[in-house]
Structure 1
C-alpha cells in the first residue's frame, strides 16, 4: 500500500498543508479530513461583506463558498488530494497510527498533520440560543446575516478585532450597536492605549456605543414574549436592549481528539521550531492550533491567530514531515530557524488596520508616522511596538497599501 499522509482539518491550514506537501515532493496518498461540509474558504470576509453586501444577502452556503474574497483557489497540484468533508475526527492513537471518526470509521496514516484550528468561546450563561451568535464559520455568518436584516438592536460582547468588525457591519446594516468590553478600550491589548482609543472614537462617530470595563451577568426576555431575547444585563445592573447577541469572547483550540496520547494540549498543540508535535517525526501541526517557538521574538512556544500563519507553518511542517517519513532526505542538515513574521489586518467601516510582527508585549509604543489628529484615517498613522529597544511590531491604521508594505519591509529587516 502506498504511504499515506492524513491532514486533519479542512480549513485554510489544511489546504495550505496539502499544497505544500505536494510542492515539497510528497507523491504518496494524501487525504484532508474536515468537520465542515464545505471545502476550504477564506474567513476574513465573513465578519464584513458576507454580513452586509447587497449581492451576498440572498446567497446560500454553496454560492458563498465561491463569493469574491471568500473563495480559495485550489491549485492544480492538489487535484488528486482526497477531500473528506463533513467528517469529524474524534480520537487518535498515535502509537498505532490510527484516527477514529464520529461516524465510526478508522483511518490509518503514515504521517499526520494537525490542522484543526479553533472554535469560538461562549458566555457561561444559558438561554435564548436562537438569538445568540458566534462568528467562525460560513454557516455562522449565514445564521447571523439572516437575523441581522430584521434586527434593530445588537449587543456585541467582546471588543477585539472580530467584535469591532461585526459591530461595524451591524451598524452599516442599520442596527443600534453596543459593544461590551471588559478592558478600558476596544482592541487594547494588541494596539495599545492611544491607537485603541482613537479607533474607539472612530466607531463612536459612526454611531457605535461602548460599555467599557463591563461584563454580561444575565440575559432577559422581551416583556411581550419572555422566550425571545430582549435585554442584556451587565454586571453593574445596566440593561441593554438587544434583538441579537454576538459573542466575540475569544477561541479554544480544537485538540480534544488528541487526548490520551501524552501530549501537552494545555494551549493548542505543543510543537518544536520544526512544527513537529513534541518531537514526533511523523506528526506535525499547522495554523493557529499549533504552539511553537519563534526565535524572531524569543524561545517561548505560542499560538498565533493571524491570517499569515497557516501558510507559513504549512511550508515548514510539510518539509519537516517529508524528512521524517523519508530517511534518505535527512542528509541535507538542519534547516535555518523558522522565524515567520505574523501578519494581520482588520477592516472596520472604511478603514484598514494592518499589523506585522508582535505587538502585545511591547514595553514602549511610539508613533512613527502621522498622528492621532483629524484626518488620520486618510493620511495613515503608523505605530511601532518595541521590546528592549528592538521594534517587534508595527501597525498601520488607514493610509495606503504602499505605506503598509514599506513598514512591513522595515520590520522584516529588523528580524
Structure 2
C-alpha cells in the first residue's frame, strides 16, 4: 500500500505544501482536506479588489484561484470537509461526519480565522473579512452613503476602511490602543498613515475602543470607550485572528499561539522534541527567526505559506525516509498594503525593533516617498518604504538580507 501524506488545510499553504512535497520527490498519496468549499485562492485582494468590484463567488474565484504547478500531480482534494480531531501518535484524523483517515505524514496548514469583538449588542450588520464569501457579503452592504465603522486599524482594518471610503461610504476607523498599522510600522509612520486616511475622508478615532454595538435586531451604531456614540449600519470587525488548532487538542502540543515548530517546520511536542512525520506551514506555524536570532513566532504575511512549505515539505519527506533534514533556509518576511493608491512595502521584522531611523523622506508624508529602518541591538532587521520606486524596494531588501547574513554567521 502506498504511503499517504495528509495536508490539513486547503488554502494557499496547503497548495504550496502539496506542490513542494512532489518537488521533494514524494511519490506516495497526497490528500488535501479543507473546510472551505472553494479551491485555494489569493486572499489579499479581498479587502480591496473584491470589495470594490465583485461579482459572484465563481467570478471572484476565476480571478483569484491558484492553479497547481505542473509537477503537483495526483493530488486528492477533499473540499468542504472539516477535521474534527486527531490522534498524532496513531496517525489518524477524524472528520466531522465521523470518517477516520490514516496518514503516514501530516502537514498542519489549517491557518487562521478572524477574531470577533466581544461586546454586547445585535449581531446583524457585523462583518469580518477572511474568505471570498465574507467579502461578497460585505460588499452588498457597502453602498454609497452607508455609515461604516471599522473596528481595528491593522492591515485589514485600514484596507477595508479605504475601500469603503472609495465606494462612497461614510467611514469611522476605531483604532484601538495603537495607531494605524503601528505594530509593523512604528509610531512615526503610523501617524503618516493616519494623516493619509484622514485626508481621504476617514474619521480616525485614536486610543478608543468599542464597548457596545447599539440597536435592536440590527446594528445602528457603536458606543466607544470615551462615551461617544457613532451611528452606523455596517460594522467591520478587524481585530486580529485566531489559529485553527482545536482539532490538534489532546496530542501534547504547545498550542498557546498556533503550533510550535523548529527551524525545519517540524511540529514540536510539549517537551520540545520534533514529532516524526508532522510539520506545519503558513500562519498557523510558530517558528524561530534564525535570521535575527529571535524566538519562535507566527508570521501572518502572504509569502509565509510559500516560504514555509519550501522548508517543511523536504523535512517531512526526509523524516519519513529516516533521513535528517537538509539545512533549512531562513525566510525573510515581506508584506505590502495599498491605501488610496499608495503602496507600502515591508521587509524583515520591523515589529521586533528597539530603534527606528528615517532612511529617507518624511514619515508624516508617505505619499511623497519615505523609508524607515528598524534596528535591534544596532542591527538592521527591517525596512518599510512607501511611495518609492520598485528599484528602491529591491535595494532595501538587499540591505536587510546583508544585515541578516551578518547575524547568522
TM bucket normalised to smaller: over 0.9
Kept in 1: contact 2:361–2:371 (CA 8 A) = yes
What is the CA-CA distance between 1:194 and the residue it aligns to? Answer: 1.1
What is the CA-CA distance between 1:140 and the residue it aligns to? Answer: 0.7
CA distance in 2, matches of 1:388, 1:193: 19
CA distance in 2, matches of 1:254, 1:126: 25
Instruction: Quote the residue 1:285 is aligned against.
Output: 280
Q: Please provide the CA RMSD for this pair.
A: 1.4
Give runs of ≥4 in structure 1 deviating > 3 Å. none
1:96 partnered with 2:85: no
TM-score with structure 1 setting the length:
0.93
TM-score with structure 2 setting the length:
0.95
Instruction: Quote the residue 2:314 is aligned against.
Output: 319
> 1:129-208 alignment to 2 at 5 Å?
129-149=123-143, 152-208=146-202
What is the CA-CA distance between 1:37 and the residue it aligns to? Answer: 0.1
- Aligned match for 1:243, one of 230, 233, 253: 233
Instruction: Quote the residue 1:39 is aligned against.
Output: 39
What is the CA-CA distance between 1:180 and the residue it aligns to? Answer: 0.6
What is the CA-CA distance between 1:103 and the residue it aligns to? Answer: 1.9
Instruction: Quote the residue 1:107 is aligned against.
Output: 101
Q: Deviations over 1:178-231 (max 9, x none)?
A: 11112252111111111100110011110001111111111111xxxx322111
Instruction: Quote the residue 1:412 is aligned against.
Output: 401
CA distance in 2, matches of 1:337, 1:112: 19
Gaps of 5+ in 2: 269-273, 405-409
CA distance in 2, matches of 1:126, 1:109: 43
CA distance in 2, matches of 1:365, 1:299: 18
What is the CA-CA distance between 1:126 and the residue it aligns to? Answer: 4.1
Instruction: Quote the residue 2:249 is aligned against.
Output: 259
Kept in 1: contact 2:177–2:209 (CA 8 A) = no
Q: How many residues are matched? A: 399
Find the residue that maps to 2:77 and give its secondary structure.
Answer: strand
- Cα 1:373–1:230, aligned 2, differ >3 Å: closer, same or farther? closer
Q: Deviations over 1:149-202 (max 9, x none)?
A: 266110000011110000000000101101111225211111111110011001
Q: Deviations over 1:367-412 (max 9, x none)?
A: 11222465x42x4211100011100000011112111112112211
Instruction: Quote the residue 1:63 is aligned against.
Output: 59
Find the residue that maps to 1:165 and give its secondary structure.
Answer: helix
CA distance in 1, matches of 2:235, 2:162: 14
